[in-house]
Amino acid sequence: MKRVIALLLVFVALCGAAVLKSVLANSGESVIVYTSMEDYAVELLQQRLAEKFPQHDIRIATKSTGDIATKVLEEGEHCEADVVFGLEYAYIEKLIANDRIYNMGDRYDMSVFADDLVSDLNRNYIVPCARQGITVIVNNKVLTDKGLPKPTSYAQLTDPCYKGLLSMPSPKSSGTGYAFYLAMVNLLGEEQALHYFDEFAGNVLQFTSSGSAPVNNLKKQEVAVGIGMISQAAEEITAGHSELEIVVAQEGACFGSYASFVVNGKQSDAALDIMDYLYNEFTDECCGKYYPELIFKDREYSVENFPKNLAYCDMSNNTMARKEDLLAKWGY
């Protein structure tokens, strides 16, 4: 027996690296992460997860917030996703009510997050991951070429001079688009807001399916003005697109809040390890690089070309019931 053990120890010493690699491979799990966040945040997440969890096969699928919510709601534990990174808050309440989000209990200290991101309803189910401001983004070259004024308010966007030169995400598929829709309803009242969008829609080249499309359309000079994400525009300006400009509307920036969670029934050790990493490390790093708006009570961030001291619109009543009611009245 001693001779057998000795031979085994020699074998392990000679082949230790290969054996260890094999053991790690066999101990790994497959994890699918759904996300609605922008490409640069997704690339950072993919890189960090590969570094942190080399033993796991982790794949990330980018989808709109509406598509993610629908798949998780309808498919439940049969949904291919194990973890969701970045779902717009309006969907969270309905997913919790339908038992679609895993209850993590008191696994995390939620008191570190801004008060408006945590409630008695969601505190055991989600981890806030970003607040994203949304406002008017312009391409100054297109405006100049067409002899158009730079809009400084949402009210100006109904001016016929911008016909065919506006881009906005559809509220039916994009959290960015819905945030703007809700902000205008809160600002103007529902009846007046619907009238506003009747006029606004006449200037829109297309209502896009994703929140990132308006800034991409601006980059390609397909439009002059977009309702887009401030973080995305700041990133593009920093990357060299100096023709783009963030114009914080006189009415204030609107915003969407986003959270991460584990799909109920998919709470494997690997999925929970990923959630721990999102809570303990990644959310802080990602906000510091791309999303500097208030999420943690005790942390402030500064991102190049991101406007400071944003004034916000009224974003109250961001519930699923309100969203379903407003989307039923959206006709574009």
Residue closest to 82 by CA, chosen among 247, 260, 218? 260
312 and 185, same structural domain?
yes
Q: What is the CATH number of the domain that holds 171?
A: 3.40.190.10
The pLDDT value recorded for residue 27 is: 58
Determine the pLDDT at residue 210. 87
Q: Which residues contact 240 (CB under 8 A, 6 or more apart)?
A: none
Residue 12 domain flag: no
Q: Are 285 and 56 in contact (CB under 8 A)?
A: no
Average pLDDT (81-106) is: 95
Q: What is the pLDDT of residues 22-61, one digit of tens each?
A: 333 445 899 999 999 989 999 999 999 999 999 999 999 9
| Domain shared by 176 and 46, yes or no | no
Q: Tell me whether residue 18 is in a domain.
A: no
End-to-end CA, the chain: 78
**Judgement on whether residues 99 and 37 belong to the same structural domain of the protein:** yes
pLDDT of residue 23: 39
Alpha helices in the chain (DSSP H): 2-27, 39-52, 65-75, 92-97, 140-145, 175-188, 190-201, 213-219, 230-238, 269-277, 283-289, 320-328
Q: What is the mean pLDDT of the chain?
A: 91
Residue 216 pLDDT > 60, yes or no?
yes
Say if residue 177 is in the same domain as residue 313: yes
Q: Examine residue 301 and state whether it is found in any structural domain, yes or no.
A: no
Q: What is the pLDDT of residues 137-181, one digit of tens each?
A: 999 999 999 999 999 999 999 999 999 999 999 999 888 999 999
DSSP state letters, 114-177: -GGG--TTTTTT-EEEEEEEEEEEEEHHHHHHTT-PPP-SSGGGGSGGGTT-EEEE-TTT-HHH
Q: What is the mean pLDDT of residues 1-9?
A: 44
Same domain, 183 and 318: yes
Q: Are 190 and 231 part of one and the same domain? A: yes
Domain identity same for 60 and 82: yes
**Residue 207 shares a structural domain with residue 220:** yes
**Residue appearing with tokens 């101990």:** 27
Q: Are residues 136 and 166 in the same domain?
A: yes
Type of residue at 163: K
Q: What is the DSSP string of 79-103?
A: SS-SEEEEEEGGGHHHHHHTT-B--
One domain for residues 51 and 148: no
Residues comprising the chain, all counted: 332
Q: Give the range of the structural domain holding residue 235, as residue numbers without chain letter.
A: 132-255+308-328
Whether 150 and 232 map to the same domain: the answer is yes
**Looking at the domain assignment, is residue 6 inside a domain?**
no
**If you average pLDDT over residues 249-266, what whole number do you get?**
96
Mean pLDDT (whole number) for 104-130: 96
Segment 294-316 shows an average pLDDT of 93
Query: Does residue 241 lie within any of the structural domains?
Result: yes
* % of the chain exceeding 90 in pLDDT: 85
| Same domain, residue pair 324 and 190 | yes
Bridge partners for 101 per DSSP? 263
pLDDT at 32: 97
Instruction: Give φ, ψ of 121 to 5 degrees.
Output: -70, -45
Please give the tally of structural domains in the chain.
Answer: 2
